[in-house]
């Protein structure tokens, strides 16, 4: 993430220690073994997700894009006693790895992993979401958001990952399809009067939305 000052990022990381052994194990194992380890939220963003979830105290969380379960386990920390987090992952191998970590966590009864295409799974979930984390295919963001914003109650929170897309959205000419999709998404959100919004320059960029 060279568009964010590396020294400032390292300083922030050093001052945001994460003592959760399982999360640290997942982080280390993924860096070592997974060819797409960069997709993991990591400790700085992970701590932020946990904090936001603890502030919101959601009863129902929806996550689109499980990967190996790191962010789901971070978000689950804020769930109410009767809370449940539903997470969607299309790749069976990643979903299986996530399930195996979740089994070993304190949240094995509170996290449900759905394996399949997010757009299809979304149609089958009939919950009143308090918090939604969108972190899957970038070209799907706008569809997921448009589908969900119509259905959710006022007071629902959204967290959207990768809104700076490796800094590509900052370029004068945007060429990649993912960067184009994120740019279109960001421009749409900027004008959407249904939500309060803030974009944070944490890691790859996180936008927080609140449905009015
Ligand atoms: C950036 S990773 C998620 C990282 C995870 N949220 C974390 O922070 O640790 C995105 C994940 O979304 C999954 N994904 C991509 N497109 C998807 C789709 N259409 N439906 C469901 N999952 C999808 C990918 O397989 C990948 O594991």
Domains of the chain: residue spans and CATH: 6-211 (3.40.50.150)
Tokens of 177: 């399809």
**Residue 77: predicted pLDDT:** 98
Q: Residue 165: CB within 6 Å of ligand 1?
A: no
Tokens of 77: 């920390």
**Residue 1: predicted pLDDT:** 63
209 and 195 Cβ atoms separated by less than 8 Å: yes
Neighbours of 170 (CB within 10 A): 13
Nearest to 157 by CA among 43, 102, 78, 90: 78
Phi, psi angle pair for 63, to nearest 5°: -120, 130
**Rounded-to-integer distance, Cα 122 and Cα 119, Å:** 5
132 three-state secondary structure: strand
**Per residue in 126-161, is it b (16+ CB within 10 Å) or e — as a string?**
eeebbbbbbbbbbebbbebbeebbeebeeebbbbbb
Using most ligand atoms within 8 A of CB, pick from 28, 52, 89 the residue to mutate for ligand 1: 89
Q: Residue 135: CB within 6 Å of ligand 1?
A: yes
Q: Residue 30: CB within 6 Å of ligand 1?
A: no
Nearest to 125 by CA among 60, 67, 56: 60
Helix segments in the chain, DSSP class H: 6-14, 21-33, 42-56, 70-76, 92-103, 118-124, 141-151, 177-191
Strands (E) in 59-173, as ranges, are: 60-64, 84-89, 111-115, 131-134, 157-161
Q: Which atom of ligand 1 is closest in space to residue 162's alpha carbon?
A: 1
Tokens of 158: 């959204």
Using most ligand atoms within 8 A of CB, pick from 39, 46, 101, 205 the residue to mutate for ligand 1: 39
What is the CA(34)–ligand 1 centre distance, in A? 14
What is the CA(26)–ligand 1 centre distance, in A? 16
What is the CA(117)–ligand 1 centre distance, in A? 10
> In the 8-state DSSP scheme, what is residue 169?
G
**Residue 4: predicted pLDDT:** 86
**Residue 2: predicted pLDDT:** 73
Question: Would you give per-residue pLDDT tens digits along the chain (212 residues)?
Answer: 678 889 999 999 999 999 999 999 999 999 999 999 999 999 999 999 999 999 999 999 999 999 999 999 999 999 999 999 999 999 999 999 999 999 999 999 999 999 999 999 999 999 999 999 999 999 999 999 999 999 999 999 999 999 999 999 999 999 999 999 999 999 999 999 999 999 999 999 999 999 99
What is the CA(89)–ligand 1 centre distance, in A? 6
């Amino acid at each position: 993430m060279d568009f964010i000052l590396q020294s400032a990022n390292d300083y922030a990381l050093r001052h945001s220690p994460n003592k959760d052994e399982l999360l640290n194990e997942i982080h280390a194992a993924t860096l070592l073994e997974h060819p797409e380890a960069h997709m993991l939220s990591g400790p700085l963003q992970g701590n932020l997700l946990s904090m936001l979830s603890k502030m919101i105290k959601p009863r129902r969380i929806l996550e689109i894009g499980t990967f190996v379960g790191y962010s789901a386990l971070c978000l689950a920390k804020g769930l109410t006693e009767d809370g449940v987090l539903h997470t969607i992952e299309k790749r069976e191998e990643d979903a299986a790895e996530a399930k195996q970590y979740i089994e070993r966590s304190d949240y094995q009864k509170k996290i449900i992993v759905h394996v399949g295409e997010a757009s299809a799974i979304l149609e089958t979930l009939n919950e009143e979401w308090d918090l939604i984390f969108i972190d899957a295919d970038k070209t799907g963001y706008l569809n997921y958001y448009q589908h969900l914003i119509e259905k959710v109650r006022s007071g629902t929170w959204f967290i959207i990952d990768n809104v700076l897309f490796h800094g590509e959205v900052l370029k004068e000419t945007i060429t990649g399809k993912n960067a184009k999709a994120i740019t279109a998404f960001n421009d749409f959100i900027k004008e959407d009067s249904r939500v309060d919004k803030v974009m944070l320059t944490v890691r790859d960029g996180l936008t927080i939305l609140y449905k009015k």
